């Protein structure tokens, strides 16, 4: 849970929480013609590291909760009861030894690896949780801002089940992709789902102009940073499913670090004194002028 605890979309309070969060933003934006849609949330903990803790991390985590206080845990147990009926049938499938469904409702810390049956049940639960999340957000957003697009949650850590659920409810799926470029073979899922995808964040930084941190993707110097910018945009423009990308961020971060976590990256198009980086400006002019030609050639 890098930025905080994952939402429980099965909680009856979740829908109202989404509405309370979105309403003031929608009221402020109104019908601004420059706003085509909304990202909702950012870099949620849909997955951890590796196959077990990664793709199935939310299932493992939910089982550690108590059904008495966790709506998601109750939903998970109900899903399993509907499928198996008797606890003995679940035990036979999972290779477990729960005495009753009531025991399963208590916090359970299962250890990987899972067998095929348990992995299938975990994947089904993660997708059901993701569907509940994206459906709720979509419904509230379309209620408050019916003329705008729902641009997803800016995936950073995710598995296929969450992305597939997002494709059912979002107008576009969003990813924050911090890498030298967008490698097409790593994002075949958006082609398989035939869904538009948009990048919420990317950047490059260098240490040759007085800053002390490159950010998440390092360049040798400002000239190399400009080259990487053009290469990244080329990889987006030539991918048939990606429809845009957002640079993070316009200005460098403060030399002494931003207030809440200390980030002090050289990631701006301008310095902290609003002085443009000429290499980045020139690179942007060149690649943006080629955008439509590259896009029309994407296959």
Residues contacting residue 256 through CB under 8 Å, at least 6 positions apart:
264
Residues 6+ apart with CB under 8 A from 161: 55, 123, 126, 127, 130
Residue with tokens 């459906």: 135
Q: Which pLDDT score is estimated for 298?
A: 66
User: Measured between alpha carbons, how far apart are the two ends of the chain, in Å?
Assistant: 37
Buried b (16+ CB within 10 A) or exposed e, 25-47: ebeeeeeeeeeebbbbbebbbbb
Confidence of residue 176 (pLDDT cuts 50, 70, 90): very high
pLDDT at 2 over 90: no
Could you report the per-residue pLDDT of 13-51, keeping only the tens digit for each?
Answer: 999 999 999 999 999 999 899 999 999 999 999 987 666
pLDDT at 54 over 90: no
Whether omega before 208 lies within 30 degrees of 0, making that bond cis, reads no
What pLDDT is recorded for position 141?
A: 98
Give the pLDDT score at 3: 59
To the nearest 10 degrees (0 to 180), the angle between helices 71-84 and 116-144 is 130
Q: Say yes or no to pLDDT of 287 above 70.
A: yes
Cα(142)–Cα(170) distance, integer angstroms = 11
Contacts of 105 (CB under 8 A, 6+ apart): 66, 67, 68, 73, 74, 77
Measured distance CA(37)–CA(9) in Å, rounded:
22
Segments of the chain assigned to CATH 3.20.20.80: 1-148, 177-299
State the chain's mean pLDDT as an integer: 95
Measured distance CA(266)–CA(218) in Å, rounded? 10
| Cβ partners under 8 Å of residue 230, min gap 6 | 283, 286, 287
**pLDDT over threshold 70, residue 250:** yes
Residue 52 confidence (pLDDT): 74
Instruction: State mean pLDDT over 186-195.
Output: 94
Alpha carbons 55 and 118: distance in angstroms, whole number? 13
Residues 202/206/212/216 CA torsion (nearest 10 deg): 30
Q: What is the CATH number that goes with domain 177-299?
A: 3.20.20.80
Which CATH homologous superfamily contains domain 1-148? Answer: Glycosidases (3.20.20.80)
What residues contact 68, with CB distance under 8 A and at least 6 apart? 105
Of the pLDDT bands very low, low, confident and very high (cuts 50, 70, 90), residue 5 is confident
CA distance 1 to 73: 18
Q: Are 269 and 282 in contact (CB under 8 A)?
A: no
Q: How many CB atoms lie within 10 A of CB 81?
A: 14
Does the structure show a pLDDT above 80 at 188?
A: yes
Confidence at residue 297, expressed as pLDDT on a 0 to 100 scale: 85
Residue-wise pLDDT for 130-164, tens only, equals 999 999 999 999 999 999 999 999 999 999 999 99
Q: Is 257 helix (H, G, I), strand (E, B) or coil?
A: coil
């Amino acid at each position: 849970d890098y930025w905080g605890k994952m939402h429980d979309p099965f909680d009856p309070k979740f829908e109202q929480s989404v509405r309370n969060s979105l309403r003031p933003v929608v009221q402020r934006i109104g019908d601004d013609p420059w706003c085509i849609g909304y990202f909702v949330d950012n870099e949620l903990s849909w997955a951890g590291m590796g196959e077990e803790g990664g793709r199935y991390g939310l299932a493992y985590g939910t089982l550690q909760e108590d059904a008495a206080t966790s709506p998601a845990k109750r939903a998970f147990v109900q899903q399993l009861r509907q499928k198996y009926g008797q606890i003995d049938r679940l035990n036979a499938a999972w290779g477990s030894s729960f005495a009753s469904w009531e025991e399963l409702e208590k916090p359970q810390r299962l250890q990987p690896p899972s067998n095929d049956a348990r992995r299938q049940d975990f994947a089904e639960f993660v997708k059901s949780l993701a569907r509940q999340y994206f459906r709720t957000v979509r419904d509230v957003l379309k209620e408050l801002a019916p003329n705008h697009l729902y641009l997803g949650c800016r995936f950073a850590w995710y598995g296929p089940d969450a992305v597939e659920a997002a494709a059912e409810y979002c107008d576009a799926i969003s990813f924050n992709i911090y890498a030298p470029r967008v490698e097409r073979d790593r994002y075949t899922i958006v082609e398989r789902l035939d869904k538009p995808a948009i990048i919420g964040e990317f950047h490059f930084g260098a240490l040759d102009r007085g800053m002390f941190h490159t950010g998440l993707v390092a360049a040798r110097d400002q000239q190399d940073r400009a080259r990487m910018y053009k290469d990244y945009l080329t990889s987006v423009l030539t991918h048939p499913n990606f429809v845009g990308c957002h640079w993070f961020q316009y200005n460098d971060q403060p030399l002494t670090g931003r207030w809440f976590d200390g980030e002090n990256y050289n990631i701006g198009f301008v310095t902290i004194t609003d002085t443009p980086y000429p290499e980045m400006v020139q690179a942007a002019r060149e690649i943006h002028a080629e955008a439509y030609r590259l896009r029309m050639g994407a296959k």
